[in-house]
Structure 1
């Protein structure tokens, strides 16, 4: 492979890894197990401040708990840096995740997390799949949610 081909391959791999991170965010926000299934290896491990979940099936089972805990979420994927070594990649994905909560009286607030995911991915059958994600919570912020205007 010449230098140009190698650079194109690297760019394509980086884009595919970014797409996996974006789909992870969309899958979380939509609580969609099909999206997560498409980007996670069977041996997926998810590490959060609340604990460690091993195996894709168990990770998928966390989606209903996410839906029960928050009225809505919105994840935004930011900076990324991954090192690709053949069919393996390790790196970091920055994310801001907003979690809407609703009190018994109807008041809503946003719990915003500044996240750095520590990622491991593997190319399996030509697709980059997460094998491990560790959610590192740098800080959080809570603020009131302003009701959406009617109309």
Structure 2
């Protein structure tokens, strides 16, 4: 996956009954191929998703590294998540509700819907994004979440 050429899948795409997981898989693949472009991994939203489902970047990265199929990745993660199907649905719904405004911005920034993306003046977007990438890289890496 080359995120320099196209955005990751939309936040509401599902694999194994989990929203965000397809987007996360795309970002992990791009991270491993060094083609993240302007995207951050693990971003604050990635980390929140993982916390909601008791996952770690190290676990997801190791599975994605050796598996090409999204369905197999999802099934493998489901086996390792100590939650029932109902708990997973509830946690995904809570994640969706908590970040609904962020998802609206992502949809615009990624081009999935029309409209203004981040409500910041253009001259502030680039320095704030660079700061966020540095902060995110310092706060979390593949083994610290």
Structure 1-normalised TM-score?
0.26
Structure 2-normalised TM-score?
0.26
Q: Which has the higher helix share?
A: 2
* Largest Rg, 1 or 2: 1
Q: Which has the higher strand share?
A: 1
